Amino acid sequence: MEPADDVPDAVLLAALRAGDLDAAGRLFRRHAEPLWRTAGAWARQPAERDDLVAETFARVLTIVRAGGGPQGDLRPYLVVTLRNLVARWSRQRNRVELWATVPESGRSTGADELALHRSNARLVWSAYCTLPGRWRTVLWRTEAEGGTPTEVAPSLGLSPNSVAALAMRAREGLRQAYLQVQVPEPEEPACREPRRRMGAWVRGALPPRRADAVAGHVAACRACRVIAHRLDEANRELPGSAARLTG
C-alpha cells in the first residue's frame, strides 16, 4: 500500500505553480478516486467516468500551472469543474440522441457527434491556454465558477465595472484564439503572416490596413481561402458554444 500523503493541498498547489510536476501526480492520486465516485452520479459507464475525471484534472491543473485556480482545498474546485463539464457533455448527448432517432440514419451519429464535441472542447481549451494570464483568470472566475463581477472584483483588485469590461475583452480574445488554433502551419512563406492573423481577421478585429492585407492574400491564395471559409463557418457557431469555457 502506498504511504499516506499528509502534505496539504495548498503546499502541493504552490509547488505545482513553481514547476514541480510531481506535485500534480500527488494531487491526482489524492483526489482521483473520490472524484471518480462523484462522477458516478452522472456517468454510468466506467470509461465515461474516466474521461470526465481525466478532462477535469487536465483543465484544473493547467489553470494552476498558469498561476490561477484554488489556493487551498482542491476538491471543491474539481467538483465544480466536473459538474460544468458534465452539463456540457449532457447537452451534447441529448442532441445526439434526438438526431439518432432519424430512421434513415445508417451510421453511428451519436458516437460521431460526441467525438466532434470532445474535439471542439479540446480546441477551446487549447485556445484558452494561449490567452494572457489575466484573461484566463477572469474567464475562469466568471465562466467556469460562475462568479459575478461584484464577487470577482476583490480578488482581481478591480471595480465590478472593470471586471465586466475585462471579461468582455477576454471572451472576445477566446473567440479569436479558438479560431486561430484551427489554422494549420503554412508551407509557403508568403502565407505565414496572413495565417498568423486569420482568427482576428475573421472576427473583424484587425485594423483596416492589416485587414486589407489579409483579405488581399486570401483572395489570391486558394489554400488560405479554403481555411478562411472553414473559419468563417466555425465563427458562426461561436456565440452560444465555443465562446464559453464550460457549461
Long-range pairs of 54-58 with CB within 8 A, sequence gap ≥ 24: 55/85, 55/121, 56/81, 56/82, 56/85, 57/28, 57/31, 57/32, 58/125
With contact defined as beta carbons under 8 Å apart, do 80 and 63 qualify? Answer: no
Q: What is the pLDDT of residue 108?
A: 39
pLDDT tens across the length of the chain (247 residues)? 344 567 899 999 999 888 888 888 888 888 888 888 888 877 777 777 787 788 888 888 888 888 887 888 888 888 888 887 777 666 544 433 333 333 333 343 444 444 444 556 677 778 888 888 888 888 888 877 778 888 888 888 888 898 889 888 888 898 899 899 889 888 889 999 999 999 999 988 888 889 999 999 999 999 999 999 988 888 887 754 333 333 3
- The label of the residue with cell 471559409 reads 229
pLDDT computed for residue 151 by the predictor: 87
* DSSP line for 5-54: --S-HHHHHHHHHTT-HHHHHHHHHHHHHHHHHHHTTT--SHHHHHHHHH
Cα–Cα distance, 176 to 62 (Å, whole number)? 20
Buried b / exposed e over 35-69, threshold 16 CB at 10 Å, is: bbebbeebbeeeebbebbbebbbebbbbbbbbebb
Distance CA 166, CA 149 (A): 10
**Which region, left, alpha or beta, applies to residue 21 given φ > 0 means left and ψ of -120 to 50 means alpha?**
alpha
Are 186 and 195 spatial neighbours (Cβ–Cβ below 8 Å)?
A: yes
Predicted confidence at residue 247, as pLDDT, reads: 37
